[in-house]
Amino acid sequence: MTIKQIEKLKTPRFIQQIEFTLKPLEFLERCAKDYGDLFFTNSFGELELLVVSNPQDLQELFNPTNKILDAPATVNEPFKPQVGENSLIVQDGERHQRLRRLIMPPFHGEQMLNYGQQICDITQQAIQHLKVGQTFIARHLTEDITMTIILKIVFGIDQESRFEQLKNLMTTWLSLTSSPLIASALLLPSLRKDLGAWSPWGRYLRKRQQINENLMAQILERRQQVQGQHFDILSMLIEAKYEDGQSLSDVELRDNLLTLLNAGHDTTATALAWALYWIHQQPQVYEKLLHELQGLNTPDPLKITQLPYLTAVCQETLRIYPVVPSTFPRVTIRPVNLRGYHVTCGTFVVPSIYLTHRREDLYPQPDKFQPERFLNRKYSPYEFWPFGAGSRQCLGQVFALFEMKLILATILLNSKLKLEEKAPVTPARRGFLMAPKGGVKMSSMAVENLLLLGERL
């Protein structure tokens, strides 16, 4: 059998890095058009990476029985400024698996269902501040909701002064990543220059230090309180034990709280802003979704999350513009043949979620928002995979979808919004994420005789 050669991008490394930093989706689409399903790029730091997007290749690589891929922490070094040295993201091997097993339980099963009413209440309180006729940015609304959920349900902050201080600090800190310079510095360590408090990177680091101090104070206070009286995720992680009886240290708790913030706040807020855009950009989607929601006799959180069209809307939102366009880099630990292409041991691989989700053979007219495709077909984990795959698959994916559905349902049942965008909204880089450019302009309209979801639950 003839072994086919995987092509490498012909443009210089620095040009690839500039294009990938400024317009990552256009860069990926052009590469796929010019080079096919497999190509090598130098767009991410110093590594030469093999980009993979064909579901057949993904299944071959991620099949656990094949044991082809490893997920080394060294390739996740760029994330350390955001999540810290002790984060789950920057661990590997047995340490990564042990920590993952310890953190996962609060985000699954009955424990997660206990958060449903809180999520609805937090969303209800946020939309009550919308003024009729006044334009607002959807992403600001969803950021406010998901930040409050993180601080109250995950961090367990009930003290109003600390809540407001941390909320302001974290909102400011995360917003810094929306600047092209900070986004570039996160991707390229050579740009991380602390030139004082007024320099972009210096400001970023100082905000991070203030957040660290506040989180350590919250951890210390929660440790001193009686166990079993709090049901937030921080309290559960304080009480959690490894198999050998050891528990997480304060710095491990702090860094993994930051990880949950970065993985669970900005990502969900972005997905929700996209969802609100698509729902209100297409009246038939809005009407069908609202009809399904209003058809519930007793719209409790569990029943809401089981609604098929709401689920399809969320899935299509995560398909058309996945919040994170690629997974963490992997490395092959043995040679593999991918449809006639030989991949050597030690090759760094970046599976592209975005390119998989834009395949015409899987998703006809991939640029169109069509929730019905998820009602008419069941996609494999290698055809639709917005939360990644393998050992680093997002451990909060069940909670994220649960949260997303409840927030959307609460907004749609308790307010009437209008899209104020005159032109199609396009994606733009926001740190490691792809967010709607401008955040999506909307306005609130007057609605009579609203029966509040919070009162019906």
Cβ–Cβ under 8 Å, residues 256 and 248 = yes
DSSP 6: P
Cβ–Cβ under 8 Å, residues 20 and 27 = yes
Cut 0.85: pTM above it: yes
- Per-domain residue ranges of the chain: 13-456
In DSSP terms, 352 is beta-bridged to: 326
Structure confidence at residue 190 (pLDDT): 59
The H-or-E segment that residue 97 falls in is helix 93-103
- Biggest CA–CA distance in the chain, Å, is 71
Strands (E), 367-454: 416-419, 427-430, 433-436, 441-445
In DSSP terms, 441 is beta-bridged to: 137
Fold (topology level) of 13-456:
Cytochrome p450 (1.10.630)
Structure confidence at residue 455 (pLDDT): 42
The radius of gyration of the chain from alpha carbons, rounded to an integer in Å, stands at 22
Structure confidence at residue 224 (pLDDT): 86
Number of H helices and E strands in the chain, helices first, is 21, 12
In whole angstroms, give the CA distance from residue 438 to residue 442.
11
Structure confidence at residue 454 (pLDDT): 40
Q: What are the b/e assignments for 170-190, b being 16+ CB within 10 Å?
A: beebbebbbeeebbbbbbbee
Tens of pLDDT along 120-144? 999 999 999 999 999 999 999 999 9
Alpha-carbon torsion (125, 131, 133, 138), positive or negative:
negative
Query: From first to last of its 457 residues, what are the pLDDT tens digits of the chain?
Result: 567 899 999 899 889 988 888 899 999 999 999 999 999 998 776 789 999 999 999 999 999 888 999 988 888 877 888 888 999 998 988 999 999 999 988 887 777 778 999 999 999 999 999 999 999 999 999 999 999 999 999 988 888 888 898 889 888 888 776 665 555 555 556 566 666 667 777 888 888 899 999 999 999 988 888 666 677 899 999 999 998 899 999 999 999 998 988 888 889 999 999 999 999 999 999 999 999 999 987 778 889 999 999 999 999 999 999 999 999 889 999 999 999 999 999 999 999 999 999 999 999 999 999 999 999 999 999 999 999 998 889 888 999 999 999 999 999 999 999 999 999 999 998 877 899 999 999 999 987 544 444 444 4
